[in-house]
Amino acid sequence: MDHGSCAPVETLRGIFRDARVPVESAEVRLHMGLAKKTHIESILALPRVREEWSARHGAPPSPADADRLYADFIPRQLSSLRDYSTVIEAVPRAVEAMRKRGLAIGSTTGYTRPMLDYLLGRAREQGFEPDAALCPGDAPEGRPAPWMCYLAAIRMKVYPMAAMVKIGDTPVDIEEGLNAGMWTIGVTRTGNEVGLTVDEWQQCAEPARTALLAGARQRLVAAGAHYTAESVAECEEILEEIQTLLDRGEGPWRVPAGDNTANG
């Protein structure tokens, strides 16, 4: 959902702007995918943000400051989700194709349970419903720890972890999957690393698109992604290859062989 992962960016920028320490989209996207309280703490730890916070408020950001920002974030994010809850094109169809392969579909997030439950309801209306959906509050901690992935496996009754694939659009998603012993596919065009809405992408000139996709692939592969694809909807060929590797006795513990990219 949310082509370009824009909802948290806009909300986080808003709460920092109101705290008189504006942050750029790139600074917010740097730690996307973490549990939101941890995400806020990570932004506050950025040297530029920490320095400006000290200049504005007379002291470095404290745990109490992070608590106040998080308390402000929660209602704002819940309110904004209605504007950022469109399922990405062709994802429901792709998920049904995955199910026809015999796959169960799980989901993990950095959102809170109320946020996740709202999005699950909106996704259901648009033809997408995972078999399990986990948030950081369901586990000892969020990404990059593997606990949400383990819980998803338990709830879906799937094993071994090496027969599972984590598809995500941030480096911390990839870390989560690798820490859980899963195959990983990094999503480029529709996710955080490109960071554009559908309209923004369509207005982008071809040279800019090429550069954005290349940068996204580079960051996700650097995080350890076994493969990359432009969307969850474009992973079928990768799943076929992973099945072939599993049939040969190979697993995700192998060293990724460079930038393996589906559909260009």
Q: List domains and CATH numbers for the chain.
A: 7-83 (1.10.150.240), 91-247 (3.40.50.1000)
User: According to the model, what pLDDT value does residue 263 have?
Assistant: 42
CA distance 66 to 58: 16
CA distance 77 to 88: 19
User: According to the model, what pLDDT value does residue 260 have?
Assistant: 52
What's the pTM? 0.93
CA angle 158, 256, 141 (to 5 degrees): 50
Segments in the chain forming alpha helices (H): 7-18, 25-29, 36-44, 47-57, 63-80, 91-100, 113-125, 147-156, 171-179, 198-203, 206-222, 236-247
User: According to the model, what pLDDT value does residue 77 have?
Assistant: 96
Nearest residue to 253 via CA among 159, 179, 194, 196: 179
User: According to the model, what pLDDT value does residue 257 have?
Assistant: 45
User: According to the model, what pLDDT value does residue 254 have?
Assistant: 55
CA distance 173 to 184: 9
User: According to the model, what pLDDT value does residue 109 have?
Assistant: 97
Residues 192, 124 contacting (CB under 8 angstroms): no
Going residue by residue through the chain (264 aa), what tens digit of pLDDT does each one get? 999 999 999 999 999 999 999 999 999 999 999 999 999 999 999 999 999 999 999 999 999 999 999 999 999 999 999 999 999 999 999 999 999 999 999 999 999 999 999 999 999 999 999 999 999 999 999 999 999 999 999 999 999 999 999 999 999 999 999 999 999 999 999 999 999 999 999 999 999 999 999 999 999 999 999 999 999 999 999 999 999 999 999 999 855 444 455 543
